[in-house]
Structure 1
């Protein structure tokens, strides 16, 4: 595995002064030798002049949050992260690699959750290159690699958890977004370590049942909500009835036998649990 080697190169501003000066000097010496009919010195000055002109190819620019990967005839020699105008061996190839933070949103994928329900899911992944050598040499195209592996990790995560929690304490895609986001980030990072990429954040951006079961699941959610609401109403009504009977008995307002208590409980539950307002009926006679 090829790891990044930080390499220091010469300042381009120094070379920008020296190379033109030397070019002018050797050009003048070549002209003087040619006028003096000195063949050997003139040839040497000409070769030096050609070498200086080749050296001008050694200039390159490094922008902030960028690295230049240097290769000499296919051999990796290091990466330059020093910003500004730089100068290095003119025979080095210099491939730029952005170190900026980047993000992308995956396409909406149709997968089955752990319960077998078809769902539509998408995610946003925030990432950056931390090892320029691995990004260039360990994978063919690191940007495409990040995209494909992130979608593969998202598919694997979606099939490992249910859309909704069916048991108390169960981790689900919809009800545990923070936990799912952290697990997704770890899943993506494990796949991208070899590409020299650090995953800063990975979070689900779209989550829904697939169209073919969305209507049925909506009815199921509505039914569950109605049952939960009814349960809460009944729990509250039972508590209120119990409190009313206890207060009547403790304060001696009325002495009720078991049958009258049952009748009162029935009436109070109807009033408290009914969806519509109850219509009062006055009893002017005896219960018996």
Structure 2
């Protein structure tokens, strides 16, 4: 069922007519014309039943004995068939702050994840008739989409080095994937997702400590690798400068000893205490 927009007649004239009927009924009762007074009251009540007020970013879905007649989205005071059943549906953007979910990522690691979703009703007919409760439908489908997203991507590249998108590093792409899936899931209910973002992401408490140690170890290895590469470059430069300027001539054994000493000095975590050798390398 697709949405059908209708534009009812303005309601100010009918409001004035209903007020006049009430005034006329009062005069009729005063003049002892009871039957006319009763008729005028009934007409006034029926007129008031057909008057609707629609505020900005609101709508009314109208049905006539179970048949969808149309949706009024214009703002103001209007008059419709008094027998219409009127369902109010807000067109405002709404925030859904999802609760933290404990799920497994692509590699099977338990993680905690939550998302913030901004959505609004686009098709009032589908929202009113395609699902039982469109607000509850949004909540349940949003949780299902977040769970599916978490199971589709690894948390990071520690276990899956070939992963192009991870939950931790692929923020924009992950948000785009979540928004696309939510729109697919909520389209049958006439809902449009304006924005979807991951608001919370962490390892589950039972493995958080182990994963933190693993990340620290990875960071230490990367740092030591950088230090070693820099130290090797400095040793290479030192040997080249000594050879170019002919300051000292070193054989292979003396070069090895010098390289060893320089690497110890450059790669050590603490300050190295030098030892002065007053003899020779061979004595």
Shift of 1:30: 9.4
Cα deviation digits, residues 181-220 of structure 1 (max 9, x gap): 1111111111000011111111111111112211211111
Shift of 1:27: 7.3
Q: Could you tell me which residue of structure 1 aligns to residue 64 of structure 2?
A: 72
Q: Does the CA contact (< 8 Å) of 2:21 and 2:40 recur in 1?
A: no
| Residue in structure 1 matching 2:115, options 123, 127, 141 | 123
TM-score of the pair, normalised by structure 1: 0.90
- Asked if residue 217 in structure 1 is aligned to residue 182 in structure 2, the reply is no
Cα deviation digits, residues 199-248 of structure 1 (max 9, x gap): 11111111111122112111111111111111111111111111211222
Q: 1:75 to 1:27 in 2, by over 3 A?
A: farther
Once the two structures are superposed, the pairs formed by residues 229-268 of structure 1 within 5 Å of their partners are: 229-268=223-262
- Asked if residue 198 in structure 1 is aligned to residue 192 in structure 2, the reply is yes
Once the two structures are superposed, the pairs formed by residues 264-279 of structure 1 within 5 Å of their partners are: 264-279=258-273
Q: Could you tell me which residue of structure 2 aligns to residue 175 of structure 1?
A: 169
Once residues 19 and 245 of structure 2 are traced to their aligned partners in structure 1, the CA distance between those partners, rounded to angstroms, is: 109
Once residues 24 and 207 of structure 2 are traced to their aligned partners in structure 1, the CA distance between those partners, rounded to angstroms, is: 81
Shift of 1:253: 2.0
Q: 1:265 to 1:169 in 2, by over 3 A?
A: farther
TM-score of the pair, normalised by structure 2: 0.91
| Residue in structure 2 matching 1:101, options 73, 93, 102 | 93
Task: Tell me the secondary structure at the aligned position of residue 79 of structure 1.
Answer: strand
Shift of 1:61: 1.3
Once residues 178 and 255 of structure 1 are traced to their aligned partners in structure 2, the CA distance between those partners, rounded to angstroms, is: 58
Once residues 226 and 260 of structure 1 are traced to their aligned partners in structure 2, the CA distance between those partners, rounded to angstroms, is: 32
Shift of 1:169: 5.4
Once residues 252 and 86 of structure 1 are traced to their aligned partners in structure 2, the CA distance between those partners, rounded to angstroms, is: 100
Once residues 21 and 43 of structure 2 are traced to their aligned partners in structure 1, the CA distance between those partners, rounded to angstroms, is: 11
Q: 1:267 to 1:161 in 2, by over 3 A?
A: same
Q: Could you tell me which residue of structure 2 aligns to residue 38 of structure 1?
A: none
Q: Could you tell me which residue of structure 2 aligns to residue 160 of structure 1?
A: 152
Q: Could you tell me which residue of structure 2 aligns to residue 133 of structure 1?
A: 125
RMSD of Structure 2 on Structure 1 (CA): 2.2
Gap runs ≥5 in structure 1: 36-41
- Asked if residue 16 in structure 1 is aligned to residue 15 in structure 2, the reply is yes
Cα deviation digits, residues 30-88 of structure 1 (max 9, x gap): 988959xxxxxx77x96566334311111121111111111111111111111122221
Once residues 248 and 121 of structure 2 are traced to their aligned partners in structure 1, the CA distance between those partners, rounded to angstroms, is: 80
Aligned residues: 280
Cα deviation digits, residues 77-112 of structure 1 (max 9, x gap): 111111122221111111111111111122211111
Once residues 250 and 79 of structure 2 are traced to their aligned partners in structure 1, the CA distance between those partners, rounded to angstroms, is: 102
Gap runs ≥5 in structure 2: none
Task: Tell me the secondary structure at the aligned position of residue 159 of structure 1.
Answer: helix
